[in-house]
Structure 1
Amino acid sequence: MGPVQTRLMEQNPLPEAISGRLRDQLAFIIEIDKLKTVLRQSPLAAAARRENDAEHSWHLGLMVVLLAEYANEPIDIGHTVQLVIVHDLIEIYAGDTPLHMADDGQQERERAAADELFAILPADQGAAIRALWDEFEARETAEARFAKAMDRFQPILLNWMAKGGTWEAHGASVDKVLGRTAAIEDGAAVLGQAREQICAESVRRGWLAPEPADP
């Protein structure tokens, strides 16, 4: 990550009478409005443009509510919604890294972004939100595994609706897509099977490249 980010509230500071804890909370709420400007690679199903991170996070939240019955293990739906709402906030500073593009510096950049962004909040809330982000990244709880499954499954649906979408744009083959989305199986085996069916049909229709031939 580059130098410390200029915060949005600095452009038009709140009245001085608003101070302390509330001021820090509102500063964070204003700052995360930047999430609406972070474009992802995935195309929208409903319009000819790419989705942004805020739209993605909202979509995942509803997916958690609607698809929780397919989780491999019982999950706390409310906690899982918190995970998916928080998981991409760091991209405000770190930027989006497309799934099909390797980036050796991604983890370091995202940790630095988390350190800076969550420090805007009062210490107790900053630690709590950071803990949610860390939990999502670690995938050591049932909720985090299901949250990650939603994060990997949603772009498959969007690329299907776009008749290839980013798969074609990045020249992805079916083996690469299945490999990069294997985390779906860890959180929701039923959705993992649906992913395989969608990918197989996409190959048949010419929207996703078949596995490369053996040399």
Structure 2
Amino acid sequence: MTSENLAKQIAFIKEIDKIKYIRRRTRLFNSDRNENDAEHSWHLAMMALVLSDYSDAEVDLLKVIKMVLIHDIVEIDAGDTFIYDPNKNHENTEEELKSAQRIFGLLPEKQAAEFIEIWTEFEEGVSEEAKFARAMDRLEPLLQNTSNDGGTWKEFGVRYQQVYDKKKIIQEGSKELWSYAEQLLEDSVKKGILEK
């Protein structure tokens, strides 16, 4: 007979399959296919593994990986908000919190509380782990857009200062990765794929 905890965990696992259907505006590297949230989260987890030496502070890498794997699960209910959307704030919303409570609430109580706590910590961006996880979250689409000749920047008329303002959060987790990102932005302007 299946235990109550296992039944809840399986229900959660089935529910989060929906993240594979959440389409993002950014496209895969050198591709015209849009990325989905599951691909994005996996890629961030790999980036955290590979780039963890660039974190400005000592971090609990497992916690960073947990953050990047669960941070967008709330979009199953709340949907993906384009980071450059002028009409809707991309930051944590009441809608996302309700989604976190519903989806993580499918898990056994202790696990649900842990996931909500990790998700909240990522959103607040105060801990060293959250700073580095958020740096990964902002770096990945920058790499994608530069590989796609401006990608969503060109498609949606996003300008340099908008990108700079959203990406500068990278420096809170890694000064070296921020230096790299700034150079990518400057190169993008020179190549004509990002307008000043």
1:139 is aligned to 125
Identify the match of residue 4 of structure 2 among 20, 23, 48. 20
Identity among equivalent positions (%) equals 39
**Does the 8 Å CA contact 2:30/2:148 hold for their aligned counterparts?**
no
1:55 is aligned to 39
Q: Does 1:66 align with 2:44?
A: no
| Equivalent residue letter for 2:158 | A
Q: What are the superposed Cα offsets for residues 84-143 of structure 1, whole Å, 9 maximum, x if unpaired?
A: 111111011111011111414961211111111111111111001111100101111101
Q: Does 1:128 align with 2:118?
A: no
What is the deviation of 1:48? 2.4
Identify the match of residue 14 of structure 2 among 30, 36, 47. 30
Q: Does 1:165 align with 2:147?
A: no
Partner SS for 2:138: helix
TM-score, normalised by the number of residues in structure 1 = 0.87
Stretches of structure 1 that go unaligned for 5 or more consecutive residues are 1-16, 211-215
Stretches of structure 2 that go unaligned for 5 or more consecutive residues are none
| Equivalent residue letter for 2:56 | N
**Does the 8 Å CA contact 2:104/2:116 hold for their aligned counterparts?**
yes
What is the deviation of 1:169? 1.3
Q: How far apart, CA to CA, are the structure 2 residues paired with 1:75 and 1:115?
A: 26
Instruction: Pick the structure with greater CA Rg.
Output: 1
Q: How does 1:68-83 map to 2 (within 5 A)?
A: 68-83=52-67
1:11 is aligned to none
Q: How far apart, CA to CA, are the structure 2 residues paired with 1:49 and 1:137?
A: 28
Residues matched between the structures, number: 194
| Equivalent residue letter for 1:59 | H
Identify the match of residue 140 of structure 2 among 154, 174, 179. 154
CA-based RMSD of the aligned residues comes to 1.3
Identify the match of residue 117 of structure 1 among 99, 103, 106. 103
| Range with bigger deviation, 17-26 or 89-98 | 17-26
Partner SS for 1:100: coil
| Equivalent residue letter for 2:40 | H
Q: Structure 1 stretches (4+) deviating beyond 3 angstroms?
A: none
| Equivalent residue letter for 2:17 | D
